[in-house]
Structure 1
Amino acid sequence: MSKYRHDLPQLSGNRLLTDGGLETTLVFHDAMELPYFAAFTLMEEESGRDRLKRYFTRYIEVARQHGVGFVLDTPTWRANPDWAAKLGYDADRLAELNRRCVAFLVALRWQLESGRTPIVINGVIGPRGDGYQPDRLMSAIEAEAYHAAQVKCFAGTETDMISAITMNYAEEAIGIARAAGKAGMPIVISFTVETDGRLPTGQTLRDAIAMVDRETGKAPAYYMINCAHPTHFEGVLAEKGDWLGRIRGLRANASALSHAELDAATALDDGNPQELGGQYRNLLRILDKAVVLGGCCGTDHRHIEQIAGHCLAETVAA
């Protein structure tokens, strides 16, 4: 474990912001070519690194304006072996780029972190397969072996924590959590759900969280929900219970369309930022432990500004 590792202020109940939909912003707003939505490839060119710096800086400034911390994600959602192979990267080059993504964010933290705005560097791990459909189901043992290399990359850097984002079945989440535990890294699991509030496999969110906790000895520091609109999962949150306290983060989509509809869309549906901010505020009345607030597909700085305005108590000078 790195001697440089920061504390995780969100574990003390401090509210933090994070960014929106990185890949959808780059593709639809910036008209960038991003094969397979693989943003880690931007590390290869100075122009790509400059674009990422502008992207993250804008969000960090929102956090600074509100006097809260920020969870700074590595652009590594696609930086695993299967997706990298499609792009022509071997294991050594992939590992190097994972580490470079962290180093890039460490430099950004040095520039922009302040006393009121601590910055937590979050190593992002995405699903082995498609984020919307669990097209290849691994056992937990297989998932641990598959994702271990990326976990080890992060563990050898100044990464503060790891998050498995857009998990669509429990076994993959279990494998990643076990790998992170063996590497001594704090791990967060973020599930995605369909319009009925269930995982794409049909498992309930409540049961998925219970299964991961049971099979890992409650290894995840907490859980999140991402890549779904609030209207897709607000109904399942009506089930009272201690499990709601395990959910400490929200990264919703801007659009209320289903995953299938979004997959087929040729234009970006960015929804209504102000309405989304109000929906987050309503969700926090149920998810009173949720402290990490950001966005997913279709969201940009406008949505995060609205979420901050609706959900943070006051705006202060950085």
Structure 2
Amino acid sequence: MNLLEKLGREWLFFDGGTGTILQERGLAAGELPETWNLTHPEEIVSLHCGYLEAGSDIINTNTFGANALKYPDNLREIVEAAVMHAKKARALSGRSDAYIALDIGPTGRLLQPMGDLPFERAVELFGEVVRIGAAAGADLVLIETMSDSYEAKAAVLAAKENCDLPVFATMIFDENGKMLTGGTVDSVVAMLEGLRVDALGVNCGLGPEQMKPIVQRLTQVSSLPIIVNPNAGLPRSENGKTVFDIDADAFAQLMAEIADMGVQVLGGCCGTTPDHIRRMIEACKAKPVAPVTPKHRTVVSSFSQAVEIGKKPVIIGERINPTGKSKFKAALRENNIEYILSEGLTQEDSGAHILDVNVGLPEIDEPKMMETVVSRLQSVLALPLQIDTSNTEAMERGMRLYNGKPMINSVSGKMESMRAVFPLVQKYGGVVVGLTLDENGIPNTAEGRVQIARKIYDTAAAYGISRDDIVIDGLAMTISSDSGSALVTLETLRRVRDELGGHTILGVSNISFGLPQREIINANFFTMALQNGLSCAIINPNTEAMMRSYRAFLALTNQDAQCSEYIAAYGNQPAAIPQNTSAGAAMTLGESIERGLSERAAQATREALGHTAPLEIVNTELIPALDRVGKGFERGTIFLPQLLMSAEAAKAAFEVVKDAMRGAPQQSRGKIILATVKGDIHDIGKNIVKVLLENYGYQVIDLGKDVDPSLIVHTAKRENIQLVGLSALMTTTVVSMEQTIRLLRAEKPDTKIVVGGAVLTQEYADSIGADCYARDAMATVHFADQVFGN
């Protein structure tokens, strides 16, 4: 039977760990598991046979780390051999009904703008593996252990664009339900469903018990089959060997409990063995398979936030739009991106939930500008974006590079428009605004507009786009030329809600065009529209009259529990309320760093040098700003992209300070070695830590990735290093971390050691003799401060 015919209708069981099994069979510390496809083919075949005989329906090729960055010369040979070994095992085991998953893991690099790997280069890297694996005979693509939603998107697009196989994707979350770069279950589910993967879920990092809250949320929000592939509990070190704390029987019992939570696909990850999988299948195979049920949620997401439309009215900030805004037009012409970012940040502060992004001017390259603005905006703020353009090339460029599931403004009832926009929504995902106009123009009646809404829904369905991903624009037309137009719009809103069960949107301020004191009309019409079912309002959130209407409406309709939002906004406000705040007001140096605005931070530093000593700027402005960002990161109110952008802004400010102090003696807060351990090419975590340490004034000796223990020890002795930071992402390489620590203890016992990485825990760090386990980059900074007495 076809895999997709089985998926969601009967149990499907994955295999378990690969690297941890190969370690038991002799894979040396730091040795790359994929090389065994060529050097130890019999072991790879045997590994697969063990899982097939245990009952696995899907076995993963030994290609987790296979990409051209890691294997520039023999990638094809490695991938083809991996698929061949899986096919041979399937034949030897007599399991013709089993499926071979082309296993694709992360590149080990952080994507731009946070890192140095361009998005399209990531797509190319993944695409090369997909083409080779699909041609060799894989049955599906499994994208797994993704800790960055942006890299996951690159991998999914690569799979979709280079083969026609089913695509599964599983993410790695921490115990708080967060990905490394800040993604949540809700945000990543929205993105992956928009990209139309066939199944999604969670793997690695945690054991089955720790995964339960994540699984519960997955079952609440996902309309796709759910995959759960945990580790065999949490790792620790015993006699130089990595072991996991859950045996096969305990694993099976916990997985049986997860099976009852409403998932459809089960398997294992690090530490699990054929015995774990066999016992799990025995415990779960007789259970009924939970049906996959549509959740009918309308969700727009960024890398870290998901906004559900329909629960309560959503504010879409309209200020990133050149219409009627001379300063914004000038910013576009002058490529003044920081002004545009400031407009976005100001609207976020004022209460917007989504930001409209329109960069269309006749004299500029709109597709290129859309690409730039979308990329920069999503690097400094967490709000989802609405890509607003009639240029389909600009629309696609924005959608492709967007890290999440965007809103799209817009499609109309014209067949030409729908044929242009709906294929993009089908490919990239999005919630699209449907304008109630067609080839005959804008209907004068609500009935005419409702009929166009029906046509938009029906045509979208032909492209496989649910009405859940359509928001109908009832069109607010100015009452200055037609005094009855507001009533038609309000009736349209009401009928879309009551008759079609749909969601609606309006550009509210259009209603008052050509009238004096427009905000009087706008604010009152806004309240009336909300009463008639308006789901999304495109407004200026910096206009207090509009936000007063919004907050009062929520309080009066019991959508603001205990009036908490209303009280927070107005409880301590003076009588005089500032009107129409703008991004034009200059930010302080500290604010510029907190917002991640590098150019503004550098300029503010130059201005401050006119009256403040360089070191005073560092101690009273730069470091306190970084501390505030760090605390926000630890509280979960600021996410990794913003943390890194703030660090870049601080770096820009530091460069100005250094120039001012040129010739003066420079004082370092301490010298630190950082290295990714032998055998591991994943340096995401190390590079993040490096950026932060340098911004806090530490001198970092970065030894890179795949670093031999002897080089680390030699450098520590030569430079008399007090602190070494070691990173590892893969379970198979933490053995190298332990070897490095033992060697440091023997040859330079006064050196402190901090360790970090997705596979580590406090218990594991203790067991291998580290002085500190850093859960995140800021924890490393804090430990460095302790070591050096700063």
Give the alignment's TM-score, normalised by structure 1.
0.79
Q: Does 1:211 align with 2:191?
A: yes
Question: 1:77 aligns to what SS in structure 2?
Answer: coil
Contact 2:200 2:225 in 1 (8 A): yes
The answer to whether the aligner puts 1:98 opposite 2:79 as a matched pair is yes
Contact 1:6 1:120 in 2 (8 A): no
Q: CA deviation at 1:162?
A: 0.6
- Which of 110, 113, 122 is the aligned partner of 2:94? 113
2:284 is the alignment partner of 1:284: no
The within-5 A match list for 1:135-150 is 136=115, 138=117, 140-150=119-129
**Residue of structure 1 in register with 2:476 after alignment:** none
Partner of 1:294: 267
Q: Pick from 141, 165, 169: which aligns with 2:144? A: 165
* CA radius of gyration, larger in: 2
How far has the Cα of 1:308 moved from its partner?
Answer: 1.3
2:32 pairs with 1:44: no
Measured after TM superposition, the shift of residue 96 of structure 1 is: 2.0
> Are the counterparts in 2 of residues 25 and 300 from structure 1 also a CA contact under 8 Å?
yes
Q: Residue in 1 aligned with 2:50?
A: 58
Choose the corresponding residue for 2:69, options 82, 86, 100. 82
* Cα offsets for 1:7-61 (capped at 9, x unmatched): 445425222322211101111x22322635x32211223xx11112222212211
Alpha-carbon separation, structure 2, partners of 1:193 and 1:136? 20
For the 8 Å contact 2:86–2:100, the answer to whether it is kept is: yes
Cα distance in 1 for residues equivalent to 2:109 and 2:119: 17
Q: 2:57 aligns with which of 70, 95, 98?
A: 70
Q: Structure 2: which amino acid aligns with 1:78?
A: G
Letter in 2 for 1:212: L
Do 1:193 and 1:232's aligned partners in 2 also have CA atoms closer than 8 Å?
no
Match of 1:181 among 138, 157, 160: 160
Q: Write the mapping of 1:150-299 to structure 2, written as runs, cut at 5 A.
A: 150-183=129-162, 184-214=164-194, 216=195, 218=196, 220-227=197-204, 228-239=206-217, 243-256=221-234, 266-286=241-261, 288-291=262-265, 293-299=266-272
User: Which residue of 9, 12, 16 maps to 2:12?
Assistant: 16
TM superposition shift of 1:200: 1.9
SS of match in other structure, 1:246: coil
Task: Report the 3-state secondary structure (helix = DSSP H, G, I; strand = E; otherwise coil) of the residue aligned with 1:53.
Answer: helix
1:305 aligns with 2:299: no
What is the number of equivalent residue pairs in this alignment? Answer: 280
For structure 1, the residue ranges without an aligned partner over 5 or more in a row are: 64-68
Spell out structure 1 runs of 4+ moving beyond 3 A: 5-10, 135-142, 236-242
Letter in structure 1 aligned against 2:150? E
Q: Distance in 1 between matches of 2:17 and 2:257?
A: 21
| 2:103 match | 124
Query: Is contact 1:126–1:164 with CA below 8 Å preserved after alignment?
Result: yes
Partner amino acid, structure 2, of 1:39: P
1:71-128 deviation digits (Å, cap 9, x = unpaired): 02110001112222xxxx51xx2112211211222222223234xx611011111100
> In structure 2, how many angstroms separate the alpha carbons of the residues matched to 1:256 and 1:282?
18
Query: Which of 28, 31, 48 in structure 2 is aligned with 1:33?
Result: 28
SS in 1 for 2:7: helix
Using the aligned pairs only, state the percent identity: 21
**Separation in 2, partners of 1:15, 1:137:** 41
CA deviation vs aligned residue, 1:263-305 (integer Å, no higher than 9, x gap): xx8532242322221111111222x2422x2211111122112
How has the CA–CA distance of structure 1 residues 14 and 203 changed in structure 2, closer, same or farther, with 3 Å as cutoff? same
1:195/1:158 CA distance change after superposition, 3 Å: same
CA separation in 2, counterparts of 1:17 and 1:203? 27
* Counterpart residue number, 1:66: none
- Say if 1:138 and 1:290 are closer, same or farther in 2 by CA, change over 3 A: farther
Alpha carbons of structure 1 residues 248 and 280: separation in structure 2 relative to 1, 3 Å: same
Q: Distance in 2 between matches of 1:243 and 1:185?
A: 25
Q: 2 CA distance for matches of 1:280 and 1:196? A: 20
**1:143/1:171 contact within 8 Å kept:** no
In 2, Cα distance between equivalents of 1:42 and 1:34: 13
* Partner SS state of residue 141, structure 2: strand
| Displacement of 1:153 | 0.8
**1:210-232 deviations in whole A, cap 9, x for unaligned?**
12333x2x2x1111211021233
CA–CA distance in structure 1, aligned partners of residues 50 and 232 of structure 2 = 18
Partners of 2:284 and 2:4 in 1: CA distance:
20
Write the distance in 1 (CA, Å) between the matches of 2:61 and 2:183: 29
Note the residue ranges of structure 2 that are not aligned, 5 or more in a row.
288-790
Give distance in 2, aligned partners of 1:239 and 1:52: 35
User: What do you get for the CA RMSD once the two structures are aligned?
Assistant: 2.7
CA displacement at 1:246 relative to structure 2: 2.4
Rounded Cα–Cα distance in structure 2 between residues aligned with 1:34 and 1:71: 28
Which structure would you say has the larger RCO, counting Cα contacts within 8 Å and 6 or more residues apart? 1
3-state SS in 2 of match to 1:193: coil
CA contact (8 A) 1:129 1:136 kept: no
